[in-house]
Amino acid sequence: MNSSAGRPDRARLERLGAALVLLLLARVAVASRIWTPAEFEAAACERRPALAARPDLLDPSPRRYNYLERIRLMADFVARFQVDDSTSPDFGGIREAKHQPHIIETDNTQEAIWVWSRWYELTGRDDYRENIRRAWHYVHNFPAWREHEGNPQNIWYAVWNCGLGFMAESRYRAAYGDTTFRAYADSCRGFFLENPLSPVGFRGNFVTGQSSGMAYAHALETGDAPLRDSALARGARVRDWIEEDAAARLAVGDWAMSGGTAFWGVANTVGRADTAAGRRWVETYAESLPGFHPTGSWNCSHNIWLANAYRAAAERGGDIRNWRMHQYLLDTLLTLDTDRDGGIPATWTDPPSRDQTWVSTYLHFMAMDVYTTPTFDRDAAQLEFVTLDRLLIAPDSVEVRPALANVGLKDLTGAVTTVTGPGYHAERTTPLPFLAIDTLALPRLALPAPGRYALAAVTAAPGDENPANDTARVEFKVYGIRTVSGTLTDSATSAPIPARLYVTIAGDTLVRDSGRTDPGGNFTLSIIDTTIAITCRPEAPWYRRTWEFAITGDTSVSLTSPTAHLLLVNNDPAAGYRHYYTDALDAIGVTWCAWSRPDSGPPPWHVVPALRTPTVIYYTGDATTGTVPAPDRDSLAARGEDRLNLLLTGQGIAAELAGTAFLEDFCGVRYDSTRAPGFFVFGDRADSLGRLIHAFAVTGGDGAGNQRSRDALSPLRNGAATMLVHDTLAGIGAGIRRTDAATGSRIITLGFGFEAANRPSSRPDFLDRPALMERMLSWFRVPTGVAEPKPARPPLAALRARPNPFCAVVRFEAAQMPGERLIIRDVTGRPVARLRLGDDSTVAWDARDLPAGVYFITPERGRAAPLRVVRLR
């Protein structure tokens, strides 16, 4: 029995991010010596993630793969999964995957017919004729239009299969000149015409786009006007649906499809019928296509359909950037075939043991096929150089490994490869049988000094009919070791600051202890000549700061840091919520020094008088026991005798400390109960501070989402008042403030963790964390940077990149956004650079040290749709 219902009902896998990290390790020590190249190679190894496959250009640039050879591997892979038992009812069908041998599908089988027929069409090699015969046998037993298996809810799956039926029959007929199976296509036609899908929802529109695009092509081939008109009408409906919210609808992945499926369908129906309108449409809406689907179940399939959308945009609109995106996605997905068996998995994080046939065939007809046309009899091609994924530090040398391939149909003898560069020349002759790839190992290239080195490889073969792919080039960036020395002092008193120093290279990927300043605040770093960031983590009471430098030679710097406004104490031994506090403080211009009690022991209470304001934020995160140990309670109470600002926040603090002198006498709080109702917290209108706090949420949103309980509190002593409530009607206290009239100390106790506070997207009138923090610190009389509102800045949509795509350097320009900090990420979401717009609201980014590909630019703070740029070679 055919098990085609298995795929529509399959449960979603958990979302797994492809956490691909670039590690650059650097070491800093007081008065340290210059590192040797061997030490840097060991400690500063640069690893390019597998995802960052370079997006090769169309001709004449070298490609990463021999696509014809990859198609052969994939066709063989699918053939291995064909049911060859002639007594089986599933004889001729294609199994789903290595790990799902009992799932046999009509759509897989129709896709295989297309692949095998196309192989014969490309090469004239009839290697799969018997496989095709068996596949048609299965398809006739389990036709596309029966794939819903009588379930009206799965009509969409049968329509999907009918689209693939059109495609399979058309390709087979074109390759073999055989009209035997035209009747099968006609049966798919009848079902397609009788079953238009609902115009509501993603899946209906995605399948309508896919099936209409394939039906339209079939109608043009066969002169079928009714089928053509129906496909056009459905394509127009999908077009209108996309235009209602293009950015959101084109970014979604659903089942084996994505927004790219709908885009492709529109481009290949109405966009094909009216070429001028189609060009305008793809030029407009291709900008809303995402760059990559990094996560999600079956995200490889989502990305192949995305590649197909970029291909359609390139074919209809002629923009070379869309071709480059198409090939970039193709090459990135081919990196998943780590065992070189021709198959890839449906989900990025799956191992080779979970390779699937259907997603592998997608890679052929949606991506690889276009790069194998035309096919020449004799064609030797240079592929990309095989380069080392490590830092090169002068003096050094590097292997020279050009790769060449036979991408033609005939065996080649005597293919000559010549590699030249400054002071370098090497030549090698090698035979290249059909589909062969040969990576040459030539003499090493010496790299005596820092700088850039370039090589060019040219191949020549007797009778080569295609000179466009005969040349490849590679460039090496070679670094030098530089010394960065300087001092770290207090910005007000010039006193030396004891601190530990950390270095980040080429973005923010390094987290490595780099040593300490000496008693005089002096330091010496050994580092390579690139853009670096030095972060000081000083002892309390100084503020942690980061400075960025472009290192081109030995450098001396003078660094200063102020004393902090407040001490931030964490007493949660397990969870890491510090950034919820520090981000809010940074947003309102309040400096801080942090202390982790679980890691470093009792806090340095003696530094509180040295702070710019005697303020402590003490948070406990998920802890429910040992929230505020007795020594800390005693120290805080003692500090309160002089004058102290204390923000005490965390779920379960009041429950644990109920009845203690610290909670009741010092904080002025009585614990009433736990699990207070509701998910919102409101300012108490009767309180002068509460009136400034409209409301906020303590669940969902961009908060920590960690609140398992919310304490109900009441004011207990003179000077204490309710400032926040869980319930405006019952007046159940959520936050209590107290002023000690004798000492001037001010204390706020929250019955929840501040890290959970957030502003829901549906309630723009609520406060976000920075605004809530600003209200409380202003009551503490801590100066913040928001006393005078800054003029509103234009959205990031005002940011422009010129040129785009670019080869080495791109300039970002904005409308009146001086000082705005930008983060540049690759397709995995990994930050690769940070920039700051200058006084003229522009900044240049030199990306020559990064692989070609797609990058996304967002503001460091706030939310905005990313700007996409494409780096070429």
35-51 average pLDDT score: 33
> Over 80: is that where the pLDDT of 838 sits?
no
| Residue 96 confidence (pLDDT) | 95
CA distances to 54, 115, 226, 329 from 265, in Å: 27, 20, 18, 19
Percent of the chain with pLDDT over 70: 89
Confidence of residue 792 (pLDDT cuts 50, 70, 90): very low
CA distance 46 to 830: 14
Same fold, 28-48+480-561 and 50-372: no
Confidence of residue 16 (pLDDT cuts 50, 70, 90): very low
> Over 60: is that where the pLDDT of 475 sits?
yes
> Over 50: is that where the pLDDT of 1 sits?
no
CATH code, residues 50-372: 1.50.10.20
What's the pTM value of the predicted model, to 2 decimals?
0.68
Confidence of residue 503 (pLDDT cuts 50, 70, 90): confident
| Residue 84 confidence (pLDDT) | 96
Confidence of residue 775 (pLDDT cuts 50, 70, 90): very high
Confidence of residue 817 (pLDDT cuts 50, 70, 90): low
CA distance 866 to 855: 9
Instruction: Give backbone dihedrals phi and psi of 16, rounded to 5 degrees, phi first.
Output: -125, 125
> Over 60: is that where the pLDDT of 34 sits?
no
| Residue 546 confidence (pLDDT) | 85
715-744 average pLDDT score: 89
Confidence of residue 833 (pLDDT cuts 50, 70, 90): confident
> Over 70: is that where the pLDDT of 58 sits?
no
CA 814 distance to own-chain centroid:
24
| Better-scored residue on pLDDT, 328 or 234 | 234
Confidence of residue 862 (pLDDT cuts 50, 70, 90): low
CA distance 770 to 772: 5
The closest of 319, 294, 285, 289 to 307, measured between CA atoms, is: 289
> Over 90: is that where the pLDDT of 528 sits?
no
| Residue 47 confidence (pLDDT) | 25
| Residue 307 confidence (pLDDT) | 96
86-101 average pLDDT score: 95
In the block, residue with structure tokens 């190249």:
37
Q: Which CATH architecture has domain 380-479?
A: Sandwich (2.60)
- Tell the burial category of 371 from Cβ atoms under 10 Å away from its Cβ (0-12, 13-18, 19+): buried
| Residue 27 confidence (pLDDT) | 26
The closest of 1, 150, 156, 18 to 89, measured between CA atoms, is: 1
> Over 80: is that where the pLDDT of 179 sits?
yes
CA distance 873 to 870: 10
Highest mean pLDDT among 3-17, 92-106, 853-867 belongs to 92-106
Percent of the chain with pLDDT over 90: 66
> Over 90: is that where the pLDDT of 717 sits?
no
> Over 60: is that where the pLDDT of 365 sits?
yes
| Residue 218 confidence (pLDDT) | 98
- Cis peptide bond prior to 374, omega within 30° of 0: yes
| Residue 815 confidence (pLDDT) | 67
Looking only at Cα atoms, what is the longest distance across the chain? 99
Dihedral sign from CA coordinates of 33, 38, 39, 45: positive
| Residue 809 confidence (pLDDT) | 82
In this structure, the number of other CB atoms found within 10 A of the CB of residue 177 comes to 7
CATH class of the domain whose range is 28-48+480-561: mainly beta
b/e code 706-726 from CB counts within 10 Å (16+ = b): bbeebbbbebbeeebbbbbbb
Confidence of residue 867 (pLDDT cuts 50, 70, 90): confident
Which residues fall within 8 angstroms of residue 759, CB to CB, at 6 or more apart? 696, 697, 701, 766, 767, 768, 771
Which residues fall within 8 angstroms of residue 566, CB to CB, at 6 or more apart? 585, 590, 591, 592, 593, 611, 613, 615, 616, 617, 645, 777, 782
| Residue 6 confidence (pLDDT) | 38
b/e code 820-849 from CB counts within 10 Å (16+ = b): bebbbbbbbebbbbbbebeeebebebebee
End-to-end CA distance of the chain: 51
Inter-helix orientation angle 106-123/67-79, to 10°: 140
Highest mean pLDDT among 12-21, 523-532, 563-572, 573-582 belongs to 563-572
Superfamily of domain 796-871: Immunoglobulins (2.60.40.10)
CATH code, residues 566-779: 3.40.50.880
Q: For 44, what's the count of Cα atoms within 13 Å in the CB-facing half-sphere? A: 26
| Residue 700 confidence (pLDDT) | 83
> Over 60: is that where the pLDDT of 40 sits?
no
| Residue 39 confidence (pLDDT) | 38
Dihedral sign from CA coordinates of 293, 299, 302, 303: positive
> Do strands 695-697 and 853-859 pair parallel, antiparallel, or not at all (unpaired)?
unpaired
| Rounded to 5°, angle at Cα 758 from 754 and 762 | 160
> Over 80: is that where the pLDDT of 789 sits?
no
| Residue 346 confidence (pLDDT) | 96
CA distance 262 to 305: 9
Highest mean pLDDT among 165-169, 331-335, 715-719, 828-832 belongs to 165-169
Q: Tens digits of per-residue pLDDT, 419-463?
A: 999 999 999 999 999 999 999 999 999 999 999 999 999 999 999
Confidence of residue 819 (pLDDT cuts 50, 70, 90): confident
| Residue 786 confidence (pLDDT) | 52
Structure tokens at 224: 């079928």
303-318 average pLDDT score: 95
633-650 average pLDDT score: 95
> Over 80: is that where the pLDDT of 20 sits?
no
> Over 80: is that where the pLDDT of 306 sits?
yes
Q: Tens digits of per-residue pLDDT, 239-267?
A: 999 999 998 899 999 999 999 999 999 99
The closest of 46, 41, 49 to 825, measured between CA atoms, is: 49
Structure tokens at 39: 């030490």
Which residues fall within 8 angstroms of residue 229, CB to CB, at 6 or more apart? none
In this structure, the number of other CB atoms found within 10 A of the CB of residue 21 comes to 9
| Mean pLDDT estimate for the chain | 86
717-722 average pLDDT score: 88
Domain boundaries, the chain: 28-48+480-561, 50-372, 380-479, 566-779, 796-871
DSSP assigned state of 88? S
**Please, are residues 334 and 70 in contact by the beta-carbon 8 Å criterion?**
yes
In the block, residue with structure tokens 């934020």:
617
97-119 average pLDDT score: 96
